Amino acid sequence: MLSATDLMSPPAAPILMDPFGRHVTYLRVSVTDRCDLRCVYCMSETMQFLPKRELLTLEELDRVCSAFVRHGVRKLRITGGEPLVRRDLMELFRSLSRHLEAGSLDELTLTTNGTLLDRFAADLAARGVRRINVSLDTLDPGRFREVTRRGDLAQVLRGIDAAQRAGLRVKINAVALKGVNEDEIVPMIEWAHGRSMDMTLIEVMPLGDIEPGRVDQFLPLSVVRERLASRFTLTDLPERSGGPARYVRIEETGGKLGFITPLTHNFCEGCNRVRLTCTGQLFMCLGQEDAADLRAPMRMSEGDEKLEAAIADAISRKPRGHDFVIERAAPAVARHMSVTGG
């Protein structure tokens, strides 16, 4: 992988600020577009994945992440697809953890579907990861297989058990799906909070063509919140996790519940994040097509001058916000979430 010299953190560079005065401090990094599940709101059942030769190498992923850290990014989230299917991924975590040790990075974390967590949870904890997000939309085994088209709920639950044994804080992310898991939202909240796990509900996002219509899937979280307020006492919390969720505390359970609402209440005004794909494309907004190629300038030379210039130029084009509209016949953007990174 990297030499001892490479592992030394270079001096900090100027922070990244977009045209609207927002500091970019959060980078989400997709390490693969592949996934071992085929969730109905995320992917087509017959996905065509990228040839492996098109992916950034682990060394290149480290290089571009480190460039962002030098420019003031304080949080790195590794995503996919399913990131844990990427071969030798623990080497990337080992390398990036040097930024945690140097104090130049606040958090190195992961979003996963949990299918491989029982194998990797202890390794993640040993490499500086302190909390993870697990995507889980139902606790019914049959429904889980229907939503994921192939998944085994018991395998995911074993992964969550392993993560908690390893000392990782787990947050459950659930996509609210009309007519699919509406009846499970309350039981899932009580289950998660009963295991000392926070939970976040997410509105379905119009990314990529899928077989079922997203209008049919869309469940507004404004409606969900009204339903929850008739059962629980919800106290708004001022805290933000660095992501788009707005949080409440449920007094009856003592746990936190987040709402990510790109359609009913977008979160663009405080957006501090950008997304790097596994092929080196930097998307400044999840809901826009504009992207910057970081792979080409990175491969032009051993130094990072061209890479850092490309990053600065990209941030100067970060838009004010997305234009997701669920009612459109076509998705807001053609690419699937697994391409951009969850």
**In this predicted model, what pLDDT tens digit does every residue of 122-157 receive, in sequence order?**
999 999 999 999 999 999 999 999 999 999 999 999
What confidence score (pLDDT) does residue 212 get? 53
97 touches 125 (CB < 8 A) = no
The domains of the chain, with CATH numbers, are 26-340 (3.20.20.70)
What confidence score (pLDDT) does residue 210 get? 44
What confidence score (pLDDT) does residue 329 get? 42
How far apart, in whole angstroms, are the C-alpha atoms of residue 259 and residue 323?
Answer: 19
How far apart, in whole angstroms, are the C-alpha atoms of residue 333 and residue 319?
Answer: 15
Q: List, in sequence order, every beta strand (DSSP E) within 148-215.
A: 169-176, 198-203
Q: What spatial distance separates the first Cα and last Cα of the chain, rounded to whole Å?
A: 26
317 touches 284 (CB < 8 A) = yes
What confidence score (pLDDT) does residue 286 get? 75
What confidence score (pLDDT) does residue 117 get? 98
Average pLDDT per consecutive 10 residues, the chain (342 residues; last block may be shorter): 48 83 95 91 80 92 98 97 96 98 97 98 98 97 95 97 98 94 97 98 67 67 95 91 80 96 64 93 85 95 95 93 49 51 58
pTM for the whole structure: 0.87
How far apart, in whole angstroms, are the C-alpha atoms of residue 27 and residue 18?
Answer: 14
Structure tokens at 76: 């790195």
287 touches 296 (CB < 8 A) = no
Q: What is the side-by-side order of every strand in the sheet holding 26-30?
A: 234-237, 246-250, 255-260, 198-203, 169-176, 131-135, 107-112, 75-79, 26-30, 273-276, 281-283, 291-293
- % of residues, the chain, pLDDT over 70: 83
What confidence score (pLDDT) does residue 22 get? 92
Residue 274 C-beta-side C-alpha neighbours within 13 Å: 34
